[in-house]
Every structure is written in C-alpha cells, then in structure tokens.
C-alpha cells in the first residue's frame, strides 16, 4: 500500500518508535512537489490514539485497517482526487501536464496545461465543448508566445 492510496479518516497500523505497533487516523493526504526537480511524493499527516502525530511517506511500514464506510470514502476520494475523465490507466493527466509545462513560462504553462486538460477529457466528458475550450486556450498561448 502507498500513502497516495490513503484518504482522510482511514485508520492505519504502523511501526512507531522501538518497533511498537501504533494505530493512527489519517488526518490529511497531500502531494509535495519539489519545483526545481519536478519530483513529487505523497505524504500523510496521521494522529495516534495517544495524541502523537506523524507525517509519513512511503518509507514508513504501515497498512490500512478496514473502515466501515471505506467504500463510500474511496468513491468520494476518487471523484475528487482521481476523476475517471482525467485518468488513463496508470497515467493521470495532472502528472502529464506538470511534466509538459515545467519548462514553459508561467503565462504559457497555464494555457498549455488547460488545453491538454480539455483535450484529454473531451471524449469522456463534454465532447466538442471541451475541444472548443482547448482551442481557446491554445489561441491564448499562441497570442502570448514571444519570438
């Protein structure tokens, strides 16, 4: 299991200090992006029953305990953080956009990223409307392009 598979409210069991197993609740899951390297890693803030808190990443040894409403939480989490119209197999459009636009100037990166977003989801969401939005953002990038 990976930290990015966790969601707020999950209960996990992990090895704490001295190898003692600790039960903790996930308070927050987020992705840290290092702007210079373009690398990203997932981390989670967790709070143990005794009140101690940790920020964990995939280097921690942990596993998720079943929650009563796990399926409902996972479905909501997926709709918010991994919507199907932005996910293609192992590829998430957000990750692709970040890779493509990392070397663009900010005023171009936004427009190029949005064009990619709308192109990628058109067949799964709003069809020609999304393609029209993509064209609008490409025209904007074209107008702002220097040289």
State how far Cα 23 lies from the chain centre: 25
| Structural domains counted in the chain | 2
pLDDT at res. 51: 86
Q: Are residues 42 and 96 in the same domain?
A: no
Predicted local confidence at residue 68, as pLDDT: 56
Contacts with 61 (C-beta within 8 Å, 6 or more apart), sequence order: 14, 15
The DSSP H or E segment spanning 65 is strand 62-65
Write down the pLDDT at residue 65: 85
Query: Which strand (E) or helix (H) includes residue 119?
Result: helix 106-121
Encode the chain (147 residues) as per-residue pLDDT tens digits.
788 888 888 898 887 666 678 888 999 888 776 656 656 788 889 998 888 888 988 888 888 887 655 555 556 556 666 666 556 666 778 888 899 999 999 889 999 999 999 998 888 888 899 999 999 999 999 999 986
Q: What is the pLDDT of residue 29?
A: 87
Q: What is the pTM of this model?
A: 0.46
The domain of 97 spans 86-144
Report d(CA 96, CA 113) in Å as an integer: 9
Give dist(CA 88, CA 15) in Å, integer: 34
Q: Give the domain-ending residue among 39, 54, 80.
A: 80
Give me the CATH number covering residue 52. Answer: 2.30.30
Name the domain boundary from 46, 80, 114.
80
Lookup: tokens for 60: 């921690």
Instruction: Supply φ then ψ for residue 57, to 5 degrees.
Output: -135, -170
From 61, 80, 99, give the residue that closes a domain.
Answer: 80
Q: What are phi and psi of 66, to 5 degrees?
A: -65, 140
Q: Which residues of 79-89 are buried (b: 16+ CB within 10 A; e: fewer)?
A: eeeeeeebbee
Does one domain contain both 10 and 64? yes
Same domain, 62 and 24: yes
Same-domain status, 8 and 52: yes
d(CA 84, CA 10): 22
Query: What pLDDT, on a 0 to 100 scale, did the predictor assign at position 102?
Result: 93
């Amino acid at each position: 299991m990976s930290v990015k598979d966790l969601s707020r409210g999950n209960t996990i069991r992990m090895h704490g200090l001295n190898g003692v197993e600790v039960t903790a609740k996930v308070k927050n899951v987020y992705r840290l992006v290092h702007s210079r390297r373009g690398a990203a890693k997932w981390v989670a803030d967790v709070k143990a029953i005794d009140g101690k808190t940790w920020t964990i990443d995939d280097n921690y040894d942990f596993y998720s305990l079943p929650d009563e409403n796990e399926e409902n939480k996972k479905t909501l989490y997926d709709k918010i953080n991994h919507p199907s119209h932005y996910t293609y197999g192992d590829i998430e459009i957000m990750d692709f956009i970040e890779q493509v636009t990392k070397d663009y100037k900010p005023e171009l990166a936004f427009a190029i990223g949005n064009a990619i977003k709308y192109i990628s989801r058109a067949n799964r969401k709003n069809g020609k409307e999304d393609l029209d939005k993509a064209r609008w953002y490409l025209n904007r990038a074209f107008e702002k392009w220097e040289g």
